[in-house]
Structure 1
Amino acid sequence: MEHIHILTDAAPVPHGAYDQAIRVGNMVITSSYMGLHPSHAGIITGGFEAEFRQAMHNIAAVLAAAGCTLRDVVRVNVSLTDLQKYTEMDRLYREYFHPPYPTRRTIGVKELLGGAQVEIDVWAIVQEDRGHSQ
């Protein structure tokens, strides 16, 4: 099955050995995103909420480039450097995802690149009736 590499300048463009996302058939699997500005100006200021929102903006941009939206997400993985932020993360998460919610894994990690507080990746299914192909 063909692997389609997803790339958009609306989200941080990788400088390492990875893609923003890969589409295989109708499945899209993103890399993980932090609150990094697409220009690579570093982690945005404004605290946890601002970082979470920027990470979600980055993910939404990559999904759009792959032909889907946050409504198509079936799996979310969240890494937090402070598990005390779980309740705040869950509150923000509910602004982006609605029932039936995607499955989710939330873990605590010692640290994230650049001093980020949150990192998120998703799996999504491109809906066939959209007729979008890369």
Structure 2
Amino acid sequence: MSIEVISTSNAPKAIGPYSQAIKTQNMVFTSGQIPIHPATGDIVSGGIENQTKQVLENLKAVLVEAGTGLENVIKTTVYIKDMNDFTLVNQIYGEYFRAPYPARSCIEVARLPKDVMIEIEAVAIIPSSI
């Protein structure tokens, strides 16, 4: 089985020894995306709403580079710093994903890289070009 490392300048560079995503056969496995603006390298301000939107934009950019998109995501894992933000995160998440929605886990965590408020990772399929 061959693997391909996915890397795009339209999402933040990896801040450690990992890849933005790995593509194998018809699957893409992304690393968790945090709310770093890819052009500036800065964490976006404006609270959980702006951070969630940036995370989803970063995730979308990685998936597009891999030859797929949010519409082909089959599983996400959402890590949030405060479960009290769940309703707002869920509302924004719903603006990016359409039915049939991917399977999802949402976990409150004590701390995330760079002390951000949210991180999301995804598994997606790559549609057949047949």
Q: TM-score range, shorter-chain basis?
A: over 0.9
Q: Secondary structure at the match of 1:34?
A: coil
What is the distance in 1 between the residues matched to 2:3 and 2:103?
A: 24
Structure 2 equivalent of residue 103 of structure 1: 103
Alpha-carbon shift at residue 42 of structure 1 (Å): 2.4
Aligned AA (1:69):
G
Partner amino acid, structure 1, of 2:121: D
Q: How many residues align?
A: 130
Deviations 1:68-93 (A, max 9, x none): 01000000100010001111111111
Give unpaired runs (5+ residues) of structure 2.
none
1:40 deviates by 5.2
Amino acid at match of 2:63: L
Which amino acid in the other structure matches residue 72 of structure 2? D
- Equivalent position of 2:21 in the other structure: 21
Once the two structures are superposed, what CA deviation does each residue of 1:11-69 show, in whole Å capped at 9, x if it has no partner?
01114110000001000000001111113532111111100000001010000000001
> Cα offset for 1:95?
0.3
Structure 1 pair 32/40, CA: closer, same or farther in 2 (3 Å)? Answer: farther
- Note if contact 2:12-2:41 (Cα within 8 Å) is conserved in structure 1: no
Question: Could you state the TM-score of these two structures normalised by the residue count of structure 1?
Answer: 0.93
Instruction: List, as ranges, runs of 4+ consecutive aligned residues in structure 1 with deviation greater than 4 Å.
Output: none
Amino acid at match of 1:72: N
Q: Residue 11 of structure 2 aligns to which amino acid in structure 1?
A: A
Mapping of 1:44-55 within 5 angstroms? 44-55=44-55
2:111 maps to amino acid: E
CA distance in 2, matches of 1:101, 1:32: 19
Q: Which runs of 5+ in 1 are unaligned?
A: none
Q: Which amino acid aligns with 2:13?
A: V
Deviation, 1:114, is: 1.3
Q: TM-score, normalised by structure 2?
A: 0.96
Mapped partners of 1:27, 1:5: distance in 2 = 12
